[in-house]
Amino acid sequence: MIRGFSKSPTPSESLSVHNYMVQFGVPVDHFTYPFVLTACARLGEVRLGRRFHCEVVRNGFDSDLFVVNALVQFYGSCGCFRDACQVVDESPVRDVVTWNVMINAFIEKSLSRKAFGLGEMMKLDNNLP
């Protein structure tokens, strides 16, 4: 339900479902956070997304590639490029998707020169297979 609402015309419902889960003791897992972060990005809720980022770290999901990519996507979509770069820099895991999410975020904000620079950094990344 969280996933469906996060992509629907009413992404705030995704956050409501998350709140009900937490309220009733349903454990949140690494599949939950990407869609909650998607809802936050669609709503422009940067502060709330940052709170979920703290939960991600506290719950030990900050080394899950799916969650890391969602964090980068969230920050990039909200124009918080410094935060997106920090997630990439501090993450023990990243892949070509991580870099593509960053590049796409820069392109969407009409920052194509920075996007090209990231393409060069991606080639030098030792964490890529």
CATH number at residue 100: 1.25.40.10
Q: Tell whether 129 is covered by a domain.
A: no
Q: Tell whether 29 is covered by a domain.
A: yes
pLDDT at residue 7 tops 70: yes
**Rounded Cα–Cα distance for residues 85 and 102 (Å):** 8
Which range of residues forms the domain containing residue 120?
2-124
The H or E element containing residue 126 is none
116 conformational bin, left if phi > 0, alpha if psi -120 to 50, beta if neither: alpha
- Give me the number of domains the chain comprises: 1
pLDDT digits (tens, 9 = 90+) for 15-43: 999 999 999 999 999 999 999 999 999 99
pLDDT digits (tens, 9 = 90+) for 74-100: 999 998 988 998 998 898 888 888 888
**Which one has a higher pLDDT value, 107 or 16?**
16
Give the residue-averaged pLDDT of 47-65.
Answer: 95
